[in-house]
Amino acid sequence: MKAVKALLATAAFLLVLMGGYYIDIRYLNVDVVFYSTLYVAAISTVAMGAVLVLARRYFVFNPFERCQLIAIWALLGYACALSVPTVIDRSLSFYILEKLQQRGGGIQLAKFNYVFTNEYMREHHLVDVRLTEQLASGTIAIENGCVKLTDRGQRLATFGQFFRKNLLPKKRLLNGEYTAILTDPFQRSDANPDYLCR
């Protein structure tokens, strides 16, 4: 009986989450898709948690079980925010599938660099979107036409470099061969670029 009620309550949570997401994307301003969806998930969790606590006479759950359900809903909301709209919005893998479909189901392998640099960047406004996200996250600042790391950005970049070099696979399949090349992508960067801020 409790399991059925827990599943029904979770189904109600998912309906509230989807309704909130629809309202968010249809009627509200969205700065960053992930943050906005995460906010909807948090509101949905709080709303359903309040129902669970305030309407306790209609539920058979003890306080510990209520806390468990709220924790499950919070994790489910986070997973949904990260796994669906954020992945589709940001994913190069989805772009490849959508682009192949748009172009009739096939693109020459030799032309993929052209597709990424000349179509993907333009069609998805990739630079604008990523700079907007970083500004909203507080990791960069734009001053006098120069994009600069904030202290928070420095810390995240340091963490990212540490994780990439030490905790990503050293034998990763890339174009039919296993390599560690993506654990240090900057080894192929230009030595003296002309785009630095002075």
The residue extents of the domains of the chain are 2-90, 91-137, 141-188
pLDDT over threshold 70, residue 100: yes
Highest mean pLDDT among 73-77, 94-98, 166-170, 190-194: 73-77
Return d(Cα 189, Cα 198) in angstroms, integer: 19
Residues 137-142: contacts with CB under 8 Å, at least 24 apart: 137/32
Return d(Cα 39, Cα 61) in angstroms, integer: 27
Which residues have a Cβ under 8 Å from the Cβ of 100 and sit 6 or more positions away? 106, 107
Residue 151 burial (CB < 10 Å; 0-12/13-18/19+)?
exposed
Q: What is the mean pLDDT of residues 37-42?
A: 95
Return d(Cα 115, Cα 127) in angstroms, integer: 16
DSSP 185: G
Q: What percentage of the chain exceeds 90 in pLDDT?
A: 60
pTM score of the predicted model: 0.76
pLDDT tens-digit series, residues 151-161? 999 999 999 99
| Radius of gyration over every alpha carbon of the chain, rounded to an integer in angstroms | 22
Residue type at 65 in one-letter notation: E
Alpha helices (runs of H) in the chain, residue ranges in sequence order = 2-27, 33-54, 63-81, 87-90, 92-102, 112-114, 121-123, 126-137, 151-167
Return d(Cα 179, Cα 172) in angstroms, integer: 5
pLDDT band at 44 (very low <50, low <70, confident <90, very high): very high
How far does CA 87 lie from the centroid of its chain?
Answer: 6
Of 81, 54, 53, the residue nearest 69 (C-alpha): 53
Buried b (16+ CB within 10 A) or exposed e, 10-28: eeebbebbeebbeebeeee
Model pLDDT, residue 198: 75
